[in-house]
Chain A
Amino acid sequence: MRKFVISAVFGAVLAASAVVGSAFAAGDAVKVEGQDWSFSGVFGKYDKKQLQRGFLVYKDVCAGCHGLRQVAYRNLLEIGLTEEAVKEYAAEFEVPAGPNDDGETIVDGELLVRPAKLSDKMVPPFANEQAARVSNSGAFPPDLSLMTKARMNGPDYLYALLTKYEEEVPEAFLKEYKEKHGEEFVLPEGMSFNHVFPGYQIAMAQPLSEESVEYEDGTEPTLENHAKDVTAFLNWAAEPELEARKSMGVKVMIFLLLLSVMLFALKKRIWSDVH
């Protein structure tokens, strides 16, 4: 048993070293403050009311520039929206209707379209990257379907990004920047200052502020709440399987612990004549 403990410790150290190595791999991203999310932890679950508020923020603020192309309209039923509401929302968008009976996809120079259905993927605001850049003075608003997985500590980072804008570059920052880099920090025309975005300048103007969106459930419409809700919603969009995953994990672990204890007892018994 002593030997086993030593072995296990060494194994763990080796594994941990490898793990630390990969964790460091992310490089020198700015550290962001950890937030308290309902979906983090072993038993984490989404707060459906929060997801619905987050969807509202996405719909009213983000959706103008950012798509959610991996999410289908039918998925929105999972956060507790009614079928009617989702159908109505989907019908606001148009998708290519395919060839008509005469085999045409374009009639009088117009693409044949139909309203989107539940089974369609959410329609992005721009047809392609070029169109997006033209409408956003050269910047490309990325698709948000996987945003919380595509950044280190995704949800914390996203929350920090949305709340750490400054209208003016702070004096303290300018001083610190000069000490560290030996040159002045200059904010180019058309860019906004952000504490956590790489390079401290971001093409997206501060998207959220107090009362950006009207909440119907009595939640305070503060900047922090908006940011938190929309981040939770985007995390759901990126990891819709999270609840199923964690709850299955708990069951599997209970089972494996039981099985391990039984196997260990059996091993002891079988080996009792050897040592």
Chain B
Amino acid sequence: MSDVQWKNPVVKWVDERLPVFSLMHHSTVGYPTPKNLNYWWNFGSLALTCLIIMIVTGIFLAMSYTPHASMAFDSVERIMRDVNYGWLLRYLHANGASMFFIVVYIHMFRNMYYGSYRAPREMLWFLGLAIYLAMMATGFLGYVLPWGQMSFWGATVITNLFSAIPLVGDDVVTWLWGGFSVDNPTLNRFFSLHYLLPFVIFALVALHLWALHVVKSNNPAGVEIKSEEDTIPFHPYYTIKDLYGIAIFMIIYLAFVFWAPNFLGHPDNYIEANPMVTPPHIVPEWYYLPFYAILRAFTADAIIYIPFGWFFITPKLAGVIAMFGAIIVLFFLPWLDTSKVLSAKYRPVFKQFFWIFVINVLILGYCGAKSPTDTLFGIKLEIVSQVATFYYFAHLMVLTPLIGWMEKTREVPNSIAAAVTKPTKTEEA
């Protein structure tokens, strides 16, 4: 880090005592980045953009929000009607959450396609999953704050998941609520935690970036950096590319904010919370839907439930275990993937299965949105979600190792430079 000589005396003075300028230099101009990153690699900086937008809009919204069960709904309406540009802040925040998840999902699928979770980037992947988990918690807590019908019933349903824990489940739920139902104490603590968690995410992001700078970016070729020929400085090449990406992202994001601000929300949340009336269809926010489908897939007569039955696990607990397991299993991905090749670009079989997996997750999402008694292509969604749940785990735990062993991979270029200068036939295809 000490390789830079600063000319400006003030900068030099500060840097000798606290090397912030060297750090900035090191992580931008001095940071060698693979020269072949495609636009899928934009989603990391987009996620950071989203986080910053969420934190800033959130701080300003908190200035006008009242976390009290009898005032929260009206205080949100006051933000929408009376606070200067309050509608803008709130719609930026509400749609920003959805955009953040879209961006992070694409970021994760990109990682899975190009094998970015593989050695030596396991820690980077773990930190990413930790961020994702913290985001899910934050998103859930935040959705409760407007105190609409979906807020209230979403909070009730999700906190009730913990009642599936054997022996202490009910006590845990009472503890989470701070009472005997979701009420004012629940709202108060949810607000407190919703304000706290984004800063935890921010710290995790710092670690995520630190880990990235240690192991360097993966790239579409999936081969490590070997020489200077393989890299270009992050700045200005990727700063300008990221900025361009952010501008395009803002167009999509703000189009929602200005013209369809409630499209991704649920109408029922414009009805104030009523503990005496449950809405006909309780649905979580779209970004939880695949997991919601996994949760619901475990009914007493489901084939996937049978092995749980051997251990006297109730279907309810089985669903909860599977839902959390769906994320836990991702932590083992670096070892479940046995292939010698990282990038799906050179893995013809894995590539196909990757896209099937993506479609499977989307189908799970569809199942989560609809009632189990609805149908998809004439098949009851109850069945569809059971099959899709099974396939989700089968892909990660069985197919991924098997394909790694059995697949005949294409020839991998010797270096990043070689991948860029001499495009092989496979790459053209």
Contacts of B281 on A, CB cut-off 8 Å? 25-27
If A26-B281, A152-B267 touch, whether A3 touches B38 (CB-CB below 8 Å) is yes
Chain B residue with Cβ nearest A259: B247
Contact between A14 and B259 (Cβ–Cβ < 8 Å)? no
Residue of B nearest to A7 (CB): B39
Which applies to chain A's interface (DSSP): helix, strand, loop or mixed?
helix
Q: Report yes or no: A249 in contact with B259, Cβ–Cβ below 8 A.
A: yes
Check if A245 sits within 8 Å of B258, measured CB to CB: yes
Chain B residues 195 to 231 lying within 8 A of chain A, measured CB to CB, are none
Known contacts A24-B369, A264-B244: A3-B232 contact under CB 8 Å: no
Interface positions, chain B 220-265, Cβ under 8 Å from A, are 232, 236-237, 240-241, 243-244, 247-248, 250-252, 254-255, 257-259, 261-264
- Is A19 interfacial (CB 8 A cutoff)? yes
| Given A18-B102, A25-B283, A42-B259, A256:B371 Cβ within 8 A | no
A59 at the interface (CB under 8 A from B): no
Report whether B287 and A18 are in contact in the complex, using a CB–CB cutoff of 8 Å: yes
Let me know if B351 is at the binding interface, CB within 8 A: no
Q: Is the Cβ of A252 less than 8 Å from the Cβ of B254?
A: yes
A248 within 8 A of partner (CB): yes
A152's closest neighbor in chain B, by CB? Answer: B267
Q: Mark A11-43, 1 if CB is under 8 A from B, else 0.
A: 100110111111111110000000000000010
Complex: how many Å from CA A271 to CA B237? 6
CB contact between A149 and one of B106, B241, B267 (< 8 Å): that residue: B267
Which of B74-82, B182-190, B301-309, B325-333 lies at the interface with chain A? B74-82
Query: Using Cβ atoms and an 8 Å threshold, which residues of chain A touch B267?
Result: 26, 149-152, 154
A245 CA to B289 CA in the complex, in Å? 30
Residues on A with C-beta less than 8 A from B91 are 245
* 8 A Cβ contacts from B259-281 to A: 259, 261-264, 266-268, 270-271, 280-281
CB contacts (< 8 Å) of B289 on chain A: these are 21-22, 25
Judging by beta carbons under 8 Å apart, are A274 and B232 in contact?
A: yes
Is A266 close to B, CB under 8 A?
Answer: yes
A253–B270 CB distance below 8 A: no
A8 in contact with B250 given A21-B369, A24-B370 (CB within 8 Å): no
Checking B77, B247, B366, B368 against A70 with a beta-carbon cut-off of 8 angstroms, the contacting residue is B77
Asked if A131 CB lies within 8 Å of chain B CBs, one says no
Binary flags per residue of A132-174, CB closer than 8 Å to B gives 1, else 0: 0000000000100110011110100000000000000000000
- Asked if residues A246 and B244 are in contact (CB atoms below 8 Å), the reply is no
Chain A residues within CB distance 8 Å of chain B:
3-4, 7-8, 11, 14-15, 17-27, 42, 70, 75, 142, 145-146, 149-152, 154, 198, 238, 240-241, 244-246, 248-249, 252-253, 256-257, 259-260, 263-264, 266-267, 270-271, 274-275
Closest 5 CB pairs of A and B: A249-B258, A22-B286, A150-B270, A241-B87, A263-B244
Apart from A238-B270, A264-B244, A267-B240, 10 more pairs, CB < 8 Å: A18-B362, A25-B289, A26-B267, A70-B77, A150-B270, A248-B88, A252-B258, A256-B250, A260-B251, A263-B244
A-B contact pairs, 29 of them (CB 8 A): A4-B39, A14-B109, A17-B365, A18-B102, A19-B264, A20-B366, A21-B368, A22-B264, A22-B283, A22-B289, A24-B366, A25-B369, A25-B370, A27-B281, A27-B371, A70-B81, A146-B270, A149-B267, A240-B81, A245-B261, A249-B259, A253-B255, A260-B248, A263-B243, A263-B247, A266-B240, A270-B236, A271-B240, A274-B35
